[in-house]
Amino acid sequence: MLRWTDLSQIPQGYGPSVVTMGNFDGVHKGHQAVLATVVERARADRSDGAQAVAVTFDPHPVAVLHPERAPQIITAPELRLDLLAATGLDAVLVMEFTRELALWTPERFVVEVFVKALGASVVVVGEDTRFGVRNSGNVDTLRQLGAAHGFEVLTLTDIGEGGRWSSSRVRSLVTAGDVAGAAEILGRPHRVCGEVVHGDHRGRDLGYPTANLSHESAGLTPADGVYVGWLIRPAVPEGDPDRVLPAAISIGTNPTFAGTQRRVEAHVLDRTDLDLYGETVAVEFVEYLRPTEKFDSIEDLLSQIADDVERARAVLSSTVG
């Protein structure tokens, strides 16, 4: 998949293309359905050389226009691009969202991006699409511009089961700790990525070493609690047994030890030999186990950790089985 970050990088005369646009945070099932339509239509028009293209933005527009209301980003930028590539797109244009871009009229955006740069023959959008200065453009605007500039507009109704699949629903579920519910909308476990850094080394002293993720980790952090999941090592080759490892994951401040820093820590089940410091890993969340607790003694804590590990092992066994 081609990846562009500026209109100037798109080859002259590119197209025709089947295009969609959006933030695609999380690349959830609703996004996937739209993107599948784009890819299918481009493949159907392949005799004309049609390419499947998504236009997205970084940073999130709200983070620029109303930073106090900016949503927490579900998916790290690189993972978002990888997920977009997995849909079969031919290219993605990631436009830097600035205050200047926010002032573009709907017509200027369509002409500069869809018509001149991408040679759009079809534009696929949701019924609630808004774009251009102060979100003044909508589907009707797009149809009028399509008639004037020679592209078809294909609209899709809201997609979802038990409610509309949306990034805001995913955020609500993740921040509430319902990672299983979030996975239903995402179509995969929610993931946080970061470098493994040194912590207090208490886990190792207790017999349960943990990989502590840096505070600069990317991806929306779930609510405090203990989770079942996987620790994934992207630097390890596919198929290597040490690439994807079963884990019990703790999020919180370690109240038993009067901690103050909120951390994401993953204990790889039945492994005490791993040295992950400095390695960038991903932690995937499969199921919520219990809330964070303050224990009266180390013995009580160890007993609970042992129970957590057993429950995690049972959950993951049923998942892969």
pLDDT of residue 162: 52
Active site residue 127: no
pLDDT of residue 219: 94
Q: In whole angstroms, what is the distance from residue 181 CA to residue 172 CA?
A: 10
pLDDT of residue 244: 97
CA pseudo-torsion sign 63, 194, 230, 212: negative
Cα separations in angstroms, 299 against 202, 220, 240, 259, 292: 14, 32, 36, 18, 16
Q: In whole angstroms, what is the distance from residue 179 CA to residue 196 CA?
A: 22
Q: Is the pTM of this model over 0.85?
A: yes
pLDDT of residue 16: 96
pLDDT of residue 158: 66
Q: Which domains does the chain have, with CATH numbers?
A: 2-156 (3.40.50.620), 190-320 (2.40.30.30)
pLDDT of residue 33: 92
Residue-wise pLDDT for 233-250, tens only, equals 999 999 999 999 999 999
Torsion angle in degrees (nearest 10) through CA of 187, 189, 195, 197: 170
Active-site residue among 127, 152, 238, 265?
265
pLDDT of residue 254: 82
Which parts of the chain sit beneath pLDDT 70? 158-163, 201, 258, 260, 320-321
**167 three-state secondary structure:** helix
Question: Phi and psi of 158, rounded to 5°?
Answer: -55, 140
Residue-wise pLDDT for 11-29, tens only, equals 999 999 999 999 999 999 9
List beta partners, residue 20: 54, 124
pLDDT of residue 320: 66
